[in-house]
Structure 1
Amino acid sequence: MSRTIVITGASGLVGSATIDSFLNADWDVISVSRRRPEVFSDKKFTHLSVDLQDPEACNASFGSLSQVTHVAYTAVYEKPGLIAGWTDPEQMSTNLTMLKNVITPLSKAATLQHVSLLQGTKAYGAHLHPIRVPARERELRDDHPNSYWFQEDYIREKSAELGFGWTIFRPTIVLGPNVGVAMNTIPVIGIYASLCRELGRPFSYPGHICYPREAVDVRLIGDAIVWAANNPNAWGEHYNLTNGEVFSWRDLWPTLADYFKVDLGPDVPLRLSDYLPDQEDLWAKIVTKYGLRPMSLSDILGQSHFSADARFGYGLTELPSPTFVSTVKIKQAGFTQTYDTEQCVKHWLNVLMDRKIIPTP
């Protein structure tokens, strides 16, 4: 049976991993993003460079893809500064429009069988108020405007109209190798450690308050999307995704200091969203010294230094409410993949070194 999936946001954190997962499962893959994704598989796939905010470009690109059976929608629009945009009506409207610009022409050209969407802990209102511990998928929808609800309602409507299935995933903090994206802490850590080593300054934890978190390896997300695409019992369901354990960034810091061969200093709160952009000149020297890819800090960071400040607890004056989610539902449904978070962080830092994004210690 021919199985062809369109993966949007393909150069992003989840999108590129999803390409690898579907290629590994021997699917035909059409990736969609403005820049070609960097993947690990050597299998061939089709790439379309499309601006999802341009309806005419989307109609032209997707209107003839009659072979498509599935969609993994991993694209997201984030405004500069990141966090303020989460409650911005214009950002919500743009994210809904982008989804429509994909589904409308595809649903006319092809017979869709299944669509996967991404949400996150903001679905439980974690960015606005304390949430139930653990947050479970069966809870009533948290009553606040956000892109998730607009996109979900649209997909539910189109599913009922056209007869395709859908699955929605809610990952926690996502760990992977991508640069220039909105929320990936891995390159932030790599850059900060590299700057500390070059300056001879201690590798100090940059937050005010550390607290336990949950994270998920991006490979797990991609494999979960493949699992759902193949599994009608997962259609019409929401699933939380984590590595299967809790951790804290502060508790990782000593092992990261050893990994980077830098001295571990006492905690020194530092707003990385201010500090890192000011180091462009030093980074240019590091790039030349170590033969790295000719990328600026802004090219590598994207918006991720803003989310890193929040994740490291910069500016907090008291311990925040926990944001733990349950993954019992997806495990009971048959998807039981787990990862060691500490090993994930080191794995993806190794990839950034192999790709000549950050220097090897």
Structure 2
Amino acid sequence: MVGVALAEAFKKPTALGGPWTVYGVSRRTLPPWFPSSFLDKYIMLDTLNKENTYEILSPLSTQITHVFWFALSVNESEELNVSLNSTMLSNVLTALTSSSSSKLCHVTLQTGTKQYMGPIFDSSLSSELVPHDAPFREEYPRVPFPNFYYALEDIVTSYQQSFTYSIHRASIIIGASARSYFNTLLSLSIYALVCKRENYPFRYVGNKYSWEHFWDVSDARVLAEQQIWASVTKQAKNQAFNCTNGDVFTWKTLWKVLCDVFDVEFVPFDENEKFDFVDFMKNKGDVWDAIVEENGLHKTKMEEVTCFSAIDVTLKLKIQHVCSMNKSRDFGFHGYANTLASIEPWVQRLRQMKILPKTW
């Protein structure tokens, strides 16, 4: 989601530090919905393969000046997350710093609010976690559990004699992609469309606490804007920043927006009514297949473009999921987005990309 927004932002004539030459790297071919005009060069590469990574990237070490890191390997075990994500980043940085004439001067690392909560998706550890108090602040100490965000930070900071860095801690990200593992908006959109097509009520999937208490999200465009700003701004170097829209909402209000966007009836949350969201959606793949076929959408499989289990865990937390943006503002970044007003435009973008159907 942020890779798409960042590549688009780089190509704007107003982009800080521009004009930019943009290299996009992925382990799969570019999807048909990705605008090729956003990239000057595309590289297909499995960064878990050390030899192949070195062979392909080391010749570019005299050209690449900035790395923006969004790569993600998601596994049930946080220890495995630490191992695989660390390997990918280490292989890339080794390849790009191997030459004495390396031009790499800044690395941008995107992480998230697990920084303040711990590995909430690792079922063997999640029951032991005690998250920090909201609003989350950058100076909070690390939670004493394995976390691949910490491992990636340590890798990047170990190179500080070679290049500067910035770390960007996102909340739930809102953007347009069918290749992002934690794509909450696309997942909820598919849920709404399945409910609409099959005449099911569009029930809230979290608990009463998240329904009523404050949350925040990160618009992919705000993340892209902050990351470019930090990469070219002296006072932002070697710093970690939260990056959210700068406002808060309740899921009750956002759910009403989703109902309006997809023209489904708003169903008030009833804590006495048991609803297993993951179980409800696990056999709805054929319904999504029919929606894709009937509307001429790009071929996607529901299990590959949704994150129902992650949403189920996240929206059943009993915390106010809110980050402080004070540090970012103090350092000079004032980007923001109106969360409730941004939902429909992002859904429209997904429709234009033929990932979601037009209104029906």
Query: What letter corresponds to residue 325 of structure 1 in structure 2?
Result: C
Aligned to 2:304, the other structure's residue is in SS state helix
Find the aligned partners of 1:192 and 1:277 in 2 and give their Cα distance. 11
- The residue that corresponds to 2:198 in the other structure is 199
Q: Say yes or no: does 1:116 pair with 2:108.
A: yes
- The residue that corresponds to 1:312 in the other structure is 315
Compute the displacement of 1:20 (Å).
1.6
- The residue that corresponds to 2:92 in the other structure is 102
Question: Which residues of 2 match residues 151-166 of structure 1 at below 5 A?
Answer: 151-160=152-161, 162=162, 164-166=163-165
Contact 1:272 1:308 in 2 (8 A): no
Find the aligned partners of 2:35 and 2:289 in 1 and give their Cα distance. 27
Contact 1:194 1:359 in 2 (8 A): no
Query: What letter corresponds to residue 231 of structure 2 in structure 1?
Result: A
Return the match for 1:20 from 8, 22, 27. 8
Contact 2:6 2:224 in 1 (8 A): yes
Query: What letter corresponds to residue 199 of structure 2 in structure 1?
Result: G
Query: What letter corresponds to residue 152 of structure 2 in structure 1?
Result: Q
Return the match for 1:91 from 73, 81, 99. 81
Contact 1:179 1:300 in 2 (8 A): yes
Compute the displacement of 1:14 (Å).
2.1
Matched residue count: 334
- The CA deviation string for residues 119-168 of structure 1, in whole angstroms up to 9 with x for no partner, is 211112354213133222123333332112222122111122x2x11111
Find the aligned partners of 1:107 and 1:39 in 2 and give their Cα distance. 29
Return the match for 2:67 from 68, 71, 91. 71
Compute the displacement of 1:106 (Å).
0.3
Q: Residues 253 and 226 from structure 1, CA distance in 2 versus in 1: closer, same or farther, beyond 3 angstroms?
A: same
- The residue that corresponds to 2:143 in the other structure is 142
Q: Residues 214 and 269 from structure 1, CA distance in 2 versus in 1: closer, same or farther, beyond 3 angstroms?
A: farther
Find the aligned partners of 2:355 and 2:71 in 1 and give their Cα distance. 23
Find the aligned partners of 1:139 and 1:112 in 2 and give their Cα distance. 30
Contact 2:22 2:38 in 1 (8 A): no
- The residue that corresponds to 1:327 in the other structure is 325
Q: Say yes or no: does 1:283 pair with 2:283.
A: no
Find the aligned partners of 1:61 and 1:151 in 2 and give their Cα distance. 22
Q: Residues 132 and 258 from structure 1, CA distance in 2 versus in 1: closer, same or farther, beyond 3 angstroms?
A: closer
Compute the displacement of 1:191 (Å).
0.7
Find the aligned partners of 2:274 and 2:297 in 1 and give their Cα distance. 28
Return the match for 1:227 from 220, 226, 229. 229
Return the match for 1:30 from 13, 18, 23. 23
Q: Which runs of 5+ in 1 are unaligned?
A: 1-12
- The residue that corresponds to 1:45 in the other structure is 40
Contact 1:240 1:330 in 2 (8 A): yes
Compute the displacement of 1:251 (Å).
1.8
- The residue that corresponds to 1:5 in the other structure is none
Contact 2:24 2:39 in 1 (8 A): no
Aligned to 2:22, the other structure's residue is in SS state strand
Find the aligned partners of 1:125 and 1:207 in 2 and give their Cα distance. 18
Query: What letter corresponds to residue 45 of structure 2 in structure 1?
Result: V
Find the aligned partners of 2:83 and 2:38 in 1 and give their Cα distance. 36
Query: What letter corresponds to residue 55 of structure 1 in structure 2?
Result: K
Q: TM-score, normalised by structure 2?
A: 0.87
Compute the displacement of 1:40 (Å).
5.2
- The CA deviation string for residues 151-190 of structure 1, in whole angstroms up to 9 with x for no partner, is 2122111122x2x111111111111111242211111111
Q: TM-score, normalised by structure 1?
A: 0.87
Compute the displacement of 1:105 (Å).
0.8
Percent of pairs with identical residues: 31
Find the aligned partners of 1:269 and 1:208 in 2 and give their Cα distance. 10
Q: Residues 341 and 269 from structure 1, CA distance in 2 versus in 1: closer, same or farther, beyond 3 angstroms?
A: farther
Compute the displacement of 1:39 (Å).
4.3
Find the aligned partners of 2:249 and 2:294 in 1 and give their Cα distance. 35
- The residue that corresponds to 1:6 in the other structure is none
Find the aligned partners of 2:299 and 2:135 in 1 and give their Cα distance. 44
Contact 1:180 1:298 in 2 (8 A): no
Contact 2:183 2:305 in 1 (8 A): no
Compute the displacement of 1:41 (Å).
7.6
- The CA deviation string for residues 183-222 of structure 1, in whole angstroms up to 9 with x for no partner, is 1111111111111111123322222322321101011111
- The CA deviation string for residues 61-80 of structure 1, in whole angstroms up to 9 with x for no partner, is 1110011111111111102x
Aligned to 2:158, the other structure's residue is in SS state helix
